[in-house]
Amino acid sequence: MSSKSYEVRPNQSVELLKELHILTRDGKMNQDSRRKLKQVYHLFQFIEPLLKDLNETKGELTLVDHGAGKSYLGFILYDLFVKELRDNSHIYGIETREELVTKSEELAGRLGFKGMSFLNLSVAESITSDKLPPTVDIVTALHACDTATDDAIRFALEKHAKYIVVVPCCQAEVAGVLRRNKGKSLANALTEIWRHPLHTREFGSQITNVLRCLQLEAHGYQVNVTELVGWEHSMKNELIIATYKDLPRRRPAERLNEVMDTLGIAELRERFYAEEAGEV
């Protein structure tokens, strides 16, 4: 059977799919790997228009993928889009597990993907690392656990990224603060929303993403929230795409602070920060 019978894109490297264990060594695909490929392509459909816009408006582009893991996303984006540009466009994968960074470096070398780099850093460390450029065009973070998504957003803001694409995961910090402060605001009927531990966890996750969206809007971004249909293996399938439009900041900044004050989580203001008052 040809690779096309597996619905592999014509310009996709079959060797890469084998290395990522989406295809077996003899080029076959089982049901699980077919689903995995479908998921990767589904996400690519969201990101491809952003890459095209950057390429058309400024030429060379820079993408940083946080919590890269085995760098599935970075490799697929490079293989399907960046390698065809034949310029100095670059994809950086940020990952804390050194062995995964080493494996990704070796794979990029074998495939001749010269425009890929992998750094053994935490997301927080990457913000000040001199191994990354002072500005980047697009920042991605897929299932970067807990506060790593917020660090990725902070990184994107510091680097003046035009596009931010995140699929948040395992948000525990807000739930912890809600739980800790629950007894202080029992007079507020809203606390019924997170009175039970299960509701605290779920509501904390929901509010975390609401705060992230408001934060991005408070920095001039247009935000779209959608669902990654087809990611049945994960309950964390909320996709946040932010585009810098230099929009008015004051109203979302006020709303951001108001939500935190109302819910008794104002201590998180430093994490979900808006721009300085003079800039909103």
Q: How many CB atoms lie within 10 A of CB 182?
A: 14
| All structural domains of the chain with their residue ranges | 10-170, 171-220+246-270
What is the residue-wise DSSP string for 2-25? -GGGGT--TTS-HHHHHHTTSS-T
Q: What pLDDT does 91 receive?
A: 98
Q: What pLDDT does 277 receive?
A: 43
Q: What pLDDT does 126 receive?
A: 95
- Measuring CA to CA, which residue among 94, 80, 88 is closest to residue 17? 80
Q: For the chain, give the longest Cα–Cα distance.
A: 67
- What CATH number does domain 10-170 carry, 3.40.250.10, 3.40.50.150, 3.30.830.10, 2.60.40.10? 3.40.50.150
Residue 267: exposed, middle, or buried by beta-carbon count in 10 A (0-12, 13-18, 19+)?
exposed
- In the structure encoding, which two tokens stand for residue 140, read together? 């991605």
pTM: 0.90
Q: What pLDDT does 189 receive?
A: 81
Phi, psi of 117 (to 5 degrees): -130, 150
Q: What pLDDT does 229 receive?
A: 67
The string of pLDDT tens digits covering residues 7-45 is 778 888 888 988 888 887 777 777 777 777 777 788 899
Q: What pLDDT does 159 receive?
A: 97
**Which residues of the chain register pLDDT less than 50?**
1-6, 277-280
Q: What pLDDT does 186 receive?
A: 54
What b/e string do you get for 10-36 counting C-beta neighbours within 10 Å, with b at 16 or more? eebbeebbebbebbeeebebeeebebb
